[in-house]
């Protein structure tokens, strides 16, 4: 395998097996480790949310926390090893393309992010335990210790993406030689997996204002407009997959659903009062947004108009931003408005697949708006469309920034 690569490419990518034992088929081991860490963190995060919904009080070493810590430790150790290996081995094949830090350390950009993210995550652990002991059960997702944890998680996840991108973009410059290389195909899917896992984190942080009860409010779409065009278009422009946004949003949906589908079958009883809803099993998290539908539309439009995909560039990025934003928001509205109503009000959604039966142990099970839109979740038509028009503007700006970020990510090679 290695003899098929040009010698100059071997020096740049570390395909000299005798000198680079940590590099496997051109992809350093730490790349797999940080993507695996991102997966552990997401599984632990979603489990922790369901733990709070079903059991309540937890401890520093509660099982979901341990899974999150494992992700942090694996990411930090493997990334730190990669950095120290490049720093202490002057003739390391990856040293020439490493990023210098403080004039002392050398390492891939992704490894640098992953180390700092892991440190932030581990720092948040004793802070979170003290917060619980002092203030009790969390009533919102973004408490101060959770904010530190979230920053650490996203830094680790971005480190995973940056590490994969650096190698993918180096392969991009050698496309005529390596277009069919198994390493490149593997990198494409590793990037999609890392991007899908980070998308789960972003949605989870915004989930308090983006549940099924808010789907008939303009604020729901304004929040979506700020976050999703920016992120999805950046990933779509940076990826080398043919349908990247579709695949990334598909990973997001499956990643959100699988833990809920599995954990709801396991017993769980509340450990913290008041217990208003005496449950006996884990309560699943919410059904995710159907982002895969506008994702398909964005991919199709990018194939037609984006210079980074097929064909010649037909429109400048500002016009593209407006086109993508309007398409994304209109498709999202057409999909989520009726789907949110279905999830909330239909008896066919109150099952283990659509998860709408889920109800926390400290909520009244006979609440009159449990399966109906409350008055404060409904807007007049005029108010909604004024808010939605503002959301279109937010989406356009978000899309423009996303395209810029995607251009930057295409240039990451270290």
What 3-state DSSP class applies to 401? helix
Distance from chain centroid for Cα 334: 24
pTM of the complete model: 0.84
274 exposure class (CB count in 10 Å sphere: 0-12, 13-18, 19+) = exposed
Residue 6 tokens read as 């040009």
User: How do the domains of the chain map onto residue ranges?
Assistant: 1-209, 211-414
Tell which residue, 276, 284, 294, 191, has the closest CA to residue 239.
Answer: 191
Digitized pLDDT (tens) for each residue of the chain, 414 residues in all? 333 333 333 433 333 333 333 333 467 788 888 889 889 999 999 999 999 899 886 777 788 889 988 988 888 888 888 887 777 776 766 666 667 666 667 777 777 778 878 888 777 766 666 665 666 555 555 567 667 777 888 888 888 888 888 878 777 666 444 455 677 788 889 999 999 999 999 999 888 889 999 999 999 999 999 999 999 999 999 888 889 999 999 999 999 999 999 999 999 999 877 889 999 999 999 999 999 999 999 999 998 887 644 445 567 889 999 999 999 999 999 999 999 999 999 999 999 999 999 999 999 999 999 999 999 999 999 999 999 999 999 999 999 999 999 888 887 777
Which residues in 5-24 are b (16+ Cβ under 10 Å) and which e? beeebbebbbbeeeebeebe
């Amino acid at each position: 395998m290695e003899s098929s690569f040009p010698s100059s490419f071997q020096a740049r990518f570390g395909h000299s097996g005798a000198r680079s034992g940590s590099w496997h088929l051109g992809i350093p081991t730490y790349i797999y480790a940080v993507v695996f860490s991102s997966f552990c963190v997401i599984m632990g995060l979603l489990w922790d949310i369901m733990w709070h919904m079903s059991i309540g009080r937890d401890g520093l070493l509660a099982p979901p926390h341990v899974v999150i810590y494992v992700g942090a430790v694996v990411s930090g150790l493997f990334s730190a090893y990669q950095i120290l290996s490049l720093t202490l081995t002057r003739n390391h094949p990856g040293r020439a393309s490493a990023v210098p830090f403080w004039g002392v350390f050398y390492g891939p950009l992704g490894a640098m992010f992953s180390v700092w993210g892991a440190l932030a995550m581990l720092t948040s652990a004793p802070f979170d335990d003290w917060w619980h002991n002092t203030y009790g059960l969390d009533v919102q997702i973004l408490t101060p210790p959770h904010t530190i944890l979230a920053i650490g998680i996203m830094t680790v996840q971005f480190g995973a993406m940056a590490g994969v991108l650096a190698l993918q973009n180096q392969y991009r410059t050698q496309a005529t030689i390596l277009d069919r290389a198994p390493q490149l195909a593997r990198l494409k899917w590793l990037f999609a997996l890392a991007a899908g896992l980070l998308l789960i984190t972003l949605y989870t942080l915004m989930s308090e204002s983006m549940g099924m009860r808010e789907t008939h409010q303009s604020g729901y779409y304004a929040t979506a407009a700020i976050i999703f065009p920016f992120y999805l278009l950046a990933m779509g422009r940076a990826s080398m997959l043919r349908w990247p946004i579709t695949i990334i949003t598909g990973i997001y949906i499956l990643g959100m659903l699988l833990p809920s589908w599995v954990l709801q079958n396991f017993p769980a009883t509340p450990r913290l009062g008041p217990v208003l809803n005496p449950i006996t099993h884990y309560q699943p998290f919410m059904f995710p947004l159907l982002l895969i539908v506008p994702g398909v539309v964005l991919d199709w439009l990018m194939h037609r108009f984006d210079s980074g995909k097929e064909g010649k560039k037909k429109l400048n990025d500002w016009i593209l931003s407006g086109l993508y934003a309007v398409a994304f928001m209109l498709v999202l509205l057409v999909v989520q408005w009726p789907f949110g109503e279905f999830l909330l009000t239909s008896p066919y959604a109150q099952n283990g697949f659509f998860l709408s039966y889920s109800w926390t142990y400290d909520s009244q099970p006979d609440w009159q708006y449990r399966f109906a839109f409350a008055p404060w979740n409904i807007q007049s038509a005029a108010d909604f469309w004024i808010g939605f028009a503002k959301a279109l503007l937010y989406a356009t700006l978000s899309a423009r920034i996303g395209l810029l970020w995607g251009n930057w990510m295409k240039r990451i090679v270290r």
